[in-house]
Amino acid sequence: MIGLAIEAATEHVEILVRGAQGETLAAEVEEVGHGHTRRLTPLVALALARARVRPAELGWVAADLGPGSFTGVRVGLATAEALALASGAAVLGASSLAALALASGASGALVVPLVPAGRRDVYAGFFRADRRGTVSLLAAPRVGTTAEILAAVAEALPLLGRAAVRFVGPGAAREQALLEAAHPGSTTPGVRFGGLSADDLAHAARSGLGPRAGLPGTAEGMRPMYVRPAQAEERVRHRVTAADPVTLRPMAPTDLPAIAQVEREVFSDPWPESFFLGEITRPHVHAFVAESGGALAGYSVAWLAAGTGHLGNLAVLPGHRRRGIARRLLTHLMADATAQGCEGIALEVRVSNFAAQGLYRAHGFRLAGLRRGYYRDTGEDALVMAWHATSGSGLGDAVPDSTET
């Protein structure tokens, strides 16, 4: 099946037309600067003309989902969707970080793809490559200075035992001196120092590896991965949050039919209603619901016995996300744990649940372990994250909502 890959997440743009046997029919490469809107369509048209392929012959079109340039990611995805609409082709996508990780050639290593993020910041992904070279997602991407990313690497490395570190991508080329000073040999051999590759994008987008490798699932639409939210979006979110009062109260048996319905709709491994019913009457169980306008908006269940508590479930209904509800539920739990003398709270979270990891991290949770192949539906790992009450952090930060733990 003939396909087209549009790599436009940075100023370095590549267009690849791939034949039915995987051969390259045409490729265009250009440093477009900030000219994605002006240059992308002509480059696609040129590549198709040189390959002697009509848009109607395309079976798939792949776009880089980011992170990278806001404009480049948006224009690249819009171009892919327009071509697919006109030709009937399937729209595929992969993040710039996953495409780099899968192309790293690393084994027995923490793989950290880096993409420039403006000024001196970089976008960083976190993947693990086993001894056979199989690459799996490890944790949510981050954005920050090289020093901040190196601190994140130091936090992640203990999860993998004696693994080496491999930095790849154009961000690694830019920050090579600092990276080598911290981890000698970590940037050698250089991988994609010259820019992101449409060939890597095509390989990742068509791999079918799904969330366990940091790629979209089969049921997901192609959504951009920005990592750093747009300022306009955040202003709107804060206005909505301020105008939407939320109340918390203990979970009651009458809440359970609605909660069980949410479980079946949202989670791949839902808790049955009978489980909730058996837990909410037990001592040391923290079970609360959040209401907005008198309707169920979210809920959480945790166990707060002596020592470290455990958060088992935190969910926000789809229509109520990004309104501060998960933050309210989590900070209420943390305050209750502190009042009951708990030393801290631990939890498991999917490696692909970036929003949840962001929520917990903003409230002082840090990486504490890895459960490999924990989720049976996708085969992906679970991160163990932990918060220590003695840290005194995380009880008042404003952060995005999550969907599950």
DSSP characters over 334-370: HHHHHHTT-SEEEEEEETT-HHHHHHHHHTT-EEEEE
Q: Is the pLDDT of residue 108 over 70?
A: yes
- Say which range, 241-250, 301-310, 315-324, 344-353, has the weakest mean pLDDT: 241-250
Averaged confidence pLDDT in the chain: 92
For residue 405, the model assigns a pLDDT of: 42
**Residue pLDDT, tens place only, 48-90:** 999 999 999 999 999 999 999 999 999 999 999 999 999 999 9
For residue 245, the model assigns a pLDDT of: 83
CA-wise closest residue to 318 among 401, 239, 258? 401
The label of the residue with tokens 């804060």 reads: 238
Q: Is the pLDDT of residue 241 over 70?
A: no
pLDDT category of residue 386 using cuts at 50, 70 and 90:
very high
pLDDT category of residue 266 using cuts at 50, 70 and 90:
confident
Radius of gyration of the chain, Cα coordinates, nearest whole angstrom? 22
For residue 282, the model assigns a pLDDT of: 92
**Residue pLDDT, tens place only, 12-58:** 999 999 999 999 999 999 999 999 999 999 999 999 999 999 999 99
Amino acid at 237: R
CA-wise closest residue to 116 among 145, 152, 159? 145
pLDDT category of residue 396 using cuts at 50, 70 and 90:
very low
Residue 327, class by beta-carbon neighbours within 10 Å (0-12 exposed, 13-18 middle, 19+ buried)? buried
% of the chain surpassing 70 pLDDT: 91
Report the pLDDT averaged over residues 195-200. 99
**Both tokens assigned to 264:** 């079946």
For residue 307, the model assigns a pLDDT of: 85
**CATH superfamily to which 1-97+192-228 belongs:** ATPase, nucleotide binding domain (3.30.420.40)
pLDDT category of residue 399 using cuts at 50, 70 and 90:
very low
Q: Is the pLDDT of residue 401 over 60?
A: no
pLDDT category of residue 362 using cuts at 50, 70 and 90:
very high
Amino acid at 279: E
Q: What is the DSSP letter of 255?
A: G
- Say which range, 56-60, 205-209, 377-381, has the weakest mean pLDDT: 377-381
Q: Is the pLDDT of residue 1 over 70?
A: yes
Q: Is the pLDDT of residue 402 over 60?
A: no
Strand order through the sheet with 366-371: 246-250, 285-292, 295-303, 308-316, 344-350, 382-388, 366-371
* Identical fold between 1-97+192-228 and 104-188: yes
- Say which range, 15-29, 156-170, 303-317, has the weakest mean pLDDT: 303-317
For residue 228, the model assigns a pLDDT of: 81
**Which CATH entry fits the domain spanning 104-188: 1.10.3470, 2.30.30, 3.30.420, 3.40.50?**
3.30.420
For the chain, the structural domain boundaries read 1-97+192-228, 104-188, 231-391
Fold classified for 231-391: Aminopeptidase (3.40.630)
pLDDT category of residue 404 using cuts at 50, 70 and 90:
very low
**Both tokens assigned to 345:** 């709270």
- Nearest-angstrom CA–CA distance, 308 and 344: 5
Q: Is the pLDDT of residue 236 over 60?
A: no
pLDDT category of residue 269 using cuts at 50, 70 and 90:
confident
Output 387 or 403, whichever has higher pLDDT.
Answer: 387
For residue 398, the model assigns a pLDDT of: 33
Tell me the whole-structure pTM to 2 decimals: 0.92
